[in-house]
Copies of this chain bind each other. A is one copy, B any other.
Amino acid sequence: MANLIDGKKIAAKVREELKSRIDKLKKKGITPGLGVVLVGDDPASISYVTGKERACAELGMFSRETRLPAEITQEELLALIASMNEDPQLHGILVQLPLPRHIDEQKIIMAIDPKKDVDGFHPVNAGKMLLGQDCYLPCTPNGILKLLEESGVETGGAEVVVLGRSNIVGKPVANLLFRKANPGNSTVTICHTATRDLKAHTLRADILIVAAGRARTVTGDMVKEGAVVIDVGVNRIPDDSKKRGYRLEGDVDFSSVSEKASLITPVPGGVGPMTITMLLFNTVAAAEKSV
């Protein structure tokens, strides 16, 4: 029976370390500041943004939310970002995705000053990550590395299988784990919807990272005895027994997989708390660089 990787606990530890860095900055008269842009009124986006702002407040950071109607033009949004790039109070800029269809997301992200791109979504940061240069690492992949590190999981030489090739999870976490670094130095296989024999790969994995976007993509029979399983999925499963009418599940069938794994992240409470924490981490780093 697997032990749980407690994302909340590890996130709390990282935030504690951040707290002391923030206090140091404040003594120098700098409050790390995050500018948040929210376009439209998608409930999930509002909830994500609220969580991020609350986390900033808890650590004594500054955040400023600009909420815009879905009808805003691309030019207006670009002008807002240009002004945020110049604003010395804001060390990080976060544009909550997805944006309405009439807006070109790539253009908006390209407009963010890479020095303030605390999401790590700007191509220049993605490229620096790929090339092994100093940059802001994207939050979810970086949070996964931190979970592995804090749980004492040795990645060097490990067989890692990543399920999913999204820009925000699968691709970057694969690239971070095969680079010559610690954490890193893993032999990484990246699987996806075009993979022929998925089970043959997952059964080889010492560390299995599942970001497939579909509940129960991985079941116990697909996991090696003693594997470490990181479940990045967040699926809403209709459930009348819950007040809100659904429950959250990852991409992994928790009950059968936890019989095989040695360590596993729960959903919720695994990767999720780390994503926000690494956003704070990048914002504090940005503030430190501004000194």
Let me know if A175 is at the binding interface, CB within 8 A: yes
Let me know if A235 is at the binding interface, CB within 8 A: no
The one of B106, B159, B165 in contact with A133, judged by C-beta atoms closer than 8 angstroms, is B106
Q: How far is the CA of A129 from the CA of B123 in the complex (A)?
A: 9
B123 to A171, Cβ gap below 8 A? no
Q: How many protomers of this protein does the assembly include?
A: 2
Q: How far is the CA of A192 from the CA of B179 in the complex (A)?
A: 9
Q: How far is the CA of A124 from the CA of B126 in the complex (A)?
A: 8
From 158 to 200 in chain A, residues with beta carbon under 8 angstroms from any chain B beta carbon are 159, 165, 167, 171-172, 174-175, 178-180, 185-192, 194-196
Sorted nearest first, the 3 A-B pairs with minimum C-beta distance are A127-B127, A123-B127, A126-B127
Which A residues are within 8 Å of any B CB, using their own CB? 106, 122-133, 156-157, 159, 165, 167, 171-172, 174-175, 178-180, 185-192, 194-196, 201
Question: What are some 28 contacts across the A-B interface (CB < 8 A)?
Answer: A106-B133, A122-B127, A123-B124, A123-B127, A123-B128, A125-B127, A126-B126, A127-B127, A127-B128, A130-B130, A130-B167, A130-B171, A131-B171, A157-B195, A157-B196, A171-B175, A174-B190, A175-B175, A178-B192, A180-B192, A185-B194, A187-B189, A187-B190, A187-B192, A187-B194, A187-B195, A187-B196, A188-B190
